[in-house]
Amino acid sequence: MLKKACAFLTVCVVLVSVFTFIPLQKAKAATVVSRVVVSPEGKGYLEVDGKPYLDMHIQNVGRFNLAAMGPPNPLSFEENYYEKTAQVNIKTASVIFPWSNIEPANQGEYDWTIIDKYVDWANQYGLRLDLAWFGTNGTGGAYLNGYKNGTTVPAYVQDQGKYWGVGLTTNSNYAPWLPDGGPHDADAQFLFQAERNAVTALFNHLASYDVNHRVIFFQLNNEPSVNPSWQNGQRGLWLDLLNQLGGAVKNSDYVVATRINLAGGNVDDADIVPLSNVDAIGYDPYDIQPSKTAQIISTTNSKYRYIAENSGGYGNTTTLALTALLNGGFYDIWQIADTEGYPLGIYKDASEGQVNDYRNWVLGNSYALKYDLDSTKRLYGVLNKISTIIAPAPTNKMVGYNTDTFVPDDNYAQTKSVNGKDFAFSTTSKAVGLIVNKDNDYYALSDADNGTTNYFSTWQQPVSVSVGYIDDNGSWVNEANISPIDNGNGTWGILYYPGSVLRIELP
């Protein structure tokens, strides 16, 4: 049963109920679950429970369905999103999370049913969670009652004239009045404070419920740059409001890293970087070109560099994700399934042009992926085996193979240098390769499929070569030793077994 606490001055009476009234005062010392850390080499990465974490997430719509998606599925159906995320070897599920999920009706009356289910499913499927908050500025504003598929804000702030001003292009999406000293200042102050109160209450609840620390990232509204007042002289005020919203997380009992995603791919974040409660700034380019991914990652000023949204429907997602990593950043996908008007999912529809096919998903079943996205599933599977090595790795300690073209070449053989050591990778199966260096060890992996022949080669005789993975304690687990082949020309070849990670130790 959920608990309901009613605060009357200094007296607190606990009652059993579906809802919870929670005092906003911090009850105990805060737990820092995640934070962005900058390495000595200048690489920003996510740390979870004190360990490097490779966040490469995929988003689902949760309870909020966009205009053409039809009514939301039953909450129980959403377990499919988490099962299907785990099936493609993605370790973080991002979910659109409207304010109304936790505070549907009256101020201070919270319902934790939805978030608790998400945490439960994350535990069940071994996932972490990113919450993409839709509050006062979900793609420009809030969706009020009358929107085709529901509202994103509580009932007590539905008064359009009082709290919301400009109507946006999407039906029933309204931009909020801002606390700018104008005629709506008092109501705007109330609205934004109520939002902050709800976020703090959410994370205080997670401190007691999410004991395994599934929630690790929080997006501060969605594409706030779409809001017309952001574009027309009030960007600075919006940044202050977003920073205050981040403070609601940072001042809670359960502290996680916070992020902002900006619409489009034009890097414009110099004034966002100094914000004390914003840890990461990413972009939603929806661009299939690897060069655009590289340009965004390499030019952003954010200490944590990432593509916040890019279409899951791109057949070269493997190349795009590796391009982000090789340029010192990270890569996130929108979304898991095709929906009407948004054919951007990674899963294939039952027939070409069929929309909302995901509604037929059944727990326990697996479904086909689009295009060459099986290669992405294979890539993420091997990245996970050494994720704590990859996350903090600086760009001069990584090198990619068959990633320099729009899609990988069918036949490829090339030598590259990583940290002063020459390695080659060869394939006849359109595979990509990655080598990451730490100390004297060079970790080699590929998205190669079963039944294909792929080689890594080195110009120094290895001290040892083994197959394995990094365990939860950061130690290499040796699953098998590999004997390199002396090619007789000053190089040593190492046969790559699909689905594996090689650790090559050089003198």
**Could you give phi then psi for residue 143, rounded to 5 degrees?**
-90, 120
DSSP string of 234-300, one letter each residue: -HHHHHHHHHHHHHHHHTSSEE-EEEEEEEBS----TTTTT-TT--EEEEE-----HHHHHHHHHH-
Residue 326 in this model has a pLDDT that exceeds 70:
yes
Say if 370 falls within a structural domain.
no
pLDDT, position 28: 60
Task: Report d(CA 74, CA 65) in Å as an integer.
Answer: 12
pLDDT, position 92: 99
Same domain, 166 and 249: yes
pLDDT, position 22: 42
Task: Read off the CATH number of the domain in which 40 is found.
Answer: 3.20.20.80
Q: Count the alpha carbons within 13 Å of 462 in the hemisphere toward its beta carbon.
A: 25
Average pLDDT, the chain: 92
Say if 378 falls within a structural domain.
no
Same domain, 342 and 473: no
Same domain, 284 and 409: no
pLDDT, position 62: 93
Same domain, 292 and 404: no
pLDDT, position 170: 61
Residue 25 in this model has a pLDDT that exceeds 80:
no
Residue 7 in this model has a pLDDT that exceeds 50:
no
Say if 8 falls within a structural domain.
no
- From first CA to last CA, the distance across the chain in angstroms is 60
pLDDT, position 199: 99
Last residue of a domain, one of 361, 379, 413: 361
- Ranges 86-95, 239-248, 353-362: which has the least confidence: 353-362
Same domain, 72 and 138: yes
pLDDT tens for each residue of 101-146: 999 999 999 999 999 999 999 999 999 999 999 999 999 999 998 7
Q: What is the CA radius of gyration of the chain?
A: 24
172 token code pair = 């029933």
pLDDT, position 70: 67
Last residue of a domain, one of 339, 361, 383: 361
Cβ atoms of 303 and 327 within 8 Å: the answer is no
pLDDT, position 13: 31
Which carries the bigger pLDDT value, residue 369 or residue 8?
369
Taking residues 489-504, report their average pLDDT. 98
Residue 481 in this model has a pLDDT that exceeds 60:
yes
Of residues 327, 293, 291, the one with CA closest to residue 42 = 327
Taking residues 71-85, report their average pLDDT. 93
Task: Read off the CATH number of the domain in which 412 is found.
Answer: 2.60.220
pLDDT, position 24: 45
Same domain, 435 and 356: no
Which 3 state secondary structure label does DSSP give 424? Answer: strand
Q: What is the DSSP letter of 182?
A: S
Same domain, 410 and 329: no
pLDDT, position 75: 96
Say if 327 falls within a structural domain.
yes
* The most confident of 163-172, 326-335, 358-367, by mean pLDDT: 326-335
Same domain, 439 and 488: yes
Same domain, 253 and 303: yes
**Total domains present in the chain:** 2
Say if 289 falls within a structural domain.
yes
Q: How confident is the model at residue 19 (pLDDT cuts 50, 70, 90)?
A: very low
Same domain, 177 and 281: yes
Say if 249 falls within a structural domain.
yes
pLDDT tens for each residue of 429-470: 999 999 999 999 999 999 999 999 999 999 999 999 999 999
102 token code pair = 């936790």
Same domain, 292 and 421: no
DSSP string of 66-87, one letter each residue: -TTS-SPPPGGGGHHHHHHHHH
Range of the domain at 436: 395-505
Of residues 303, 262, 297, the one with CA closest to residue 280 = 303
Say if 171 falls within a structural domain.
yes
Same domain, 151 and 82: yes
pLDDT tens for each residue of 357-415: 888 999 999 999 998 899 999 999 999 999 999 999 999 999 999 999 999 999 999 99
Task: Report d(CA 166, CA 187) in Å as an integer.
Answer: 15
Say if 110 falls within a structural domain.
yes
Last residue of a domain, one of 361, 381, 404: 361
Residue 171 in this model has a pLDDT that exceeds 70:
no
Q: How confident is the model at residue 356 (pLDDT cuts 50, 70, 90)?
A: confident
Which carries the bigger pLDDT value, residue 167 or residue 420?
420
Residue 340 in this model has a pLDDT that exceeds 80:
no
Residue 23 in this model has a pLDDT that exceeds 70:
no
